[in-house]
Amino acid sequence: MLGRSVVAALLAMNFAAVPSFAQTKAPAKPEAKPAAAPAVKEAADKPAIKMGKDEGKGFLARHEGFLADLKATNGKVDVLFVGDSITDGWRRGGKKVFDANYGSQAPLNIGIGGDRTQHVIWRLQNGEVEGISPKVAMLMIGTNNLSANTDEEIVAGITKCVTTLREKLPKTKVLLLGVFPRSAKPTDAARARIKTINAAIAKLDDAGKTVKYLDIGEKFLDKEGNLTKEIMPDALHPNEKGYEIWAEAVKSTLADLMK
């Protein structure tokens, strides 16, 4: 079983260095407070994990649960689902759709709510895909990095997720999904960032030889580009109708990759 120390991450560093100086006859001045050093960002392509006290316990519990799920498959996994809460949601709002579309395909879902690229990299490197050789791994990750990382860092993180999957599962083809749209309006800042990120990760596509990129984001939008509550009630997570759109949008591509 893995040690708990490997999941610790440095969240911030504050250094206060007060220089010494010779006493003079001049009146003493109040000592200026040193400026706090900026918080250290986690690189999106490094397997460091930012966790609070409770989050850390929950994350490790989910990770260990996935290791148990993996063992229970006896090595038989045809479709692997990798990602954050949107992938995790196949177990809840998308369960009926998941069972109908993937239940007979020996699926394994290792999506965790709140995950960023760093989390996925760490999990892939710490046993969650050991002993299996799926035909396809469907990956969708990156939206949770928007608040902490630059577009370039997020692209690097997603790229690392793909290369790690390829290293760990050399016989598995990766179906890389573009980051899904979020925020209700097409003019919201997140939309433009996601478009930039998706344009960059699309270049990872090698015509499906090992990686196939697919952007199904527009399938969730209305004619004006709005993300409605009928599809994603919180403008981020699909409901059952949203998962139906997802399953239908990837159906033919997934079938081709599984041949």
User: Is 63 assigned a catalytic role?
Assistant: no
User: Is 119 assigned a catalytic role?
Assistant: no
State both tokens at 254.
Answer: 């997934």
3-state SS, residue 141: coil
107, β-bridge pairs: 79
Catalytic residue among 63, 84, 88, 237: 237
∠ CA 105-106-107 to the nearest 5 degrees? 95
What span, in angstroms and rounded, lies between the C-alpha atoms of 181 and 102? 24
User: Is 237 assigned a catalytic role?
Assistant: yes
- 16, burial (CB in 10 Å: exposed 0-12, middle 13-18, buried 19+): exposed
Catalytic residue among 99, 206, 234, 256: 234
Q: Where are the alpha helices (DSSP H) in the chain?
A: 53-72, 85-88, 95-102, 117-125, 151-168, 189-201, 240-257
Catalytic residue among 85, 133, 183, 205: 85
Look up residue 4 and give its amino acid.
R
Q: Which residues are catalytic?
A: 85, 234, 237
